[in-house]
Amino acid sequence: MAVLCLGSIMVATKPAEFFLKQAYKGRVIDLFQATMDKEMEWDSRQVLDTLGRVRLDVRLMEAAIKGSASKELEKPVKYYKEKANLDFLFVSDKAGNVLVKEPKMPTSIAGFESFKEAMAGYHSDNSMEYQGELYQTYSVPILSKDHSSVVGAIVGLRKIDAGFLNYFLERLGYSNPKSRNVELAIFNNNKLMHATKKGGFWGVVPEHYKAHSKEIRDSRQGYSKVVTFTFGDDEYGIIMGMLRGAATNPLLPMDKALPPLKDRGIYYVVSWRLPMKMGPFAFLDKLIPQDKLLEGFPWVLFIVATLVFLILGIMIIMWEGDMPVKRMIKQAKAVGEGEYKLINDADFSGRFGSLARAINEALEKAAASASPDAALHAKSMDDILGDSDAGPKASLPDGGPPPPPVQGKPLNYPNLKKPGAKELPRDLPPLPITKKEAPAPVQPEAQFHEVEAEPEEGVPLPPAPDDDPGEYYAYVTEQFRQIKLKLDGNLDGFDEIEFMKKLEQSTQAIREKTNVERVELKVYERDGQPGLKAVPLKS
């Protein structure tokens, strides 16, 4: 047991986590980067779709064709900017002249790479440095009325900062900076611009960027392979990627290749701090050679933990086996002394609870046998409603139950002399015989018949055996309860629900034995006790 407990603890805690992260560290980073890349592409697509609907505004198309715009467009453009969650929104003609200007806006965006991509017909997102800050750019072309040419462009800018990076970490479920092992950073020309966490390990990244820049700028991939390095006592894994999503051009054939992507020196880095070496738990790492699995195995810890769990197991067994018995003996003594009537079986569980309930049942039966109505308590419902040893109980005549049989001998009273009476002499002549009078005719014993009273109008009839069984059993149960309450003055030991169940069971048994469908139940009184009889009724 101790070995199993130790093994479960080792598997359910840190060693198992170390094993998984060590065995699949490269795959974990790769999956995270792929997920983040999809999140960035989805976010860019949302902005591009919004700008795609904005360019359908006829006022913007007419302004791009004319090369000028009125002040009436300032309010709609401001609304579109807030709707797309952008810091800047440029609306320009095909020459790059900004039609709707705001403070700190240039007069022309002809030099923007995103403007050039829009004029080529692309819906694209990119990154650039503008006014000393990094921005994510989104651009869509403004088409002519017949959709045959590009007459202008809409370019939006969103600032890239630590909040921009934390947004993606929260989207991926890494909102707590204290417990996460993954961080994000943005570099511009190998210079760290923003990061979700400060650390000296970021200084190692530019060295690896030079070796993987071709992979990053490949439009079919857009990111590098997993690169691992050690900084201080920690091991890190990184993936570098370009900060842009997919570019599409609805004006070009589907088989035409995308234009080559320029290296603007802006890229993001996903950094994952790998778990530390497993040390004494290295035998769990499947990457370690088999002949070195037990090197540094914590034998002392294993032996001590085994002994501790063994002692705890013995103590638990003793506690579970000995203490409940002592508590039961204590409560049994209290019952014997009259302090309690029954043992509190709620204090016990398992087999001890079953034993406590069995003792309570025995105590209840003993208490019931000593009560005035012990005869009724001693009889079960099967005894009351069931058949006798001689066979099924025959139905009684309509006169009701017969009187109890006379038992014993008649009493002989001695001839006792009354006080003060004279004793008659024994030699007196016999008395004259008088004419014997005819004995009075013996009246036959009155027969009592149960006469069903005619029901009064408006009074509901009691349930019959042919009616709903539930109503009929409830009616018989109520009759039995009333006569018991009348005779005994209490309802001790009487359970209506259990009584109805026994009625149903006994009725079904009589039906099967007598092969009669209708069974009538009658309540009567005999010797001061309530009784019940079942009468099969043949149709």
pLDDT in tens, 401-424: 566 665 555 555 455 455 555 555
* Cα four-point dihedral sign 303, 307, 312, 318: positive
CA–CA separation, 42 vs 8, rounded Å? 42
What pLDDT score does 115 carry?
92
Q: Are strands 124-130 and 150-159 parallel, antiparallel or unpaired?
A: unpaired
CB atoms within 10 A of CB 473: 20
Q: Apex CA 324: angle with CA 322 and CA 329, to 5°?
A: 95
pTM: 0.48
Band of pLDDT at residue 449, cut at 50, 70 and 90: very low
CA–CA separation, 97 vs 91, rounded Å? 8
DSSP bridge partners of 204: none
CA–CA separation, 243 vs 189, rounded Å? 13
What pLDDT score does 440 carry?
56
Band of pLDDT at residue 459, cut at 50, 70 and 90: very low
Whether residue 19 has pLDDT greater than 70:
no
pLDDT in tens, 112-158: 988 998 998 888 888 888 888 899 999 999 998 888 889 999 999 99
CA–CA separation, 531 vs 290, rounded Å? 84
* Amino acid of residue 415: N
Whether residue 40 has pLDDT greater than 50:
yes
Q: What angle, 0 to 180 degrees and rounded to 10, lies between the N-to-C axes of helices 25-54 and 162-171? A: 110
Domains of the chain in start order, with CATH, are 39-157 (3.30.450.20), 298-370 (no CATH), 376-399+462-539 (no CATH)
| C-beta separation of 269 from 36 below 8 A | no
CA–CA separation, 269 vs 243, rounded Å? 10
Name the residue with tokens 């779709």.
49
365-372 mean pLDDT: 69
| C-beta separation of 19 from 284 below 8 A | yes
Whether residue 381 has pLDDT greater than 60:
no
* 3-class DSSP assignment, residue 304: helix
What DSSP string runs through 395-455? PPPTT-SPPPPP-SPPP----PPPTTPPPPPTTPPPPPPPPPPPPPPPPPPPPP--PPPPP
Q: Are strands 266-274 and 234-242 parallel, antiparallel or unpaired?
A: antiparallel
CA–CA separation, 23 vs 57, rounded Å? 55
Using H for helix, E for strand and C for coil, what is the string for 260-293? CCCCCCEEEEEEEEECCCCHHHHHHCCCCCHHHC
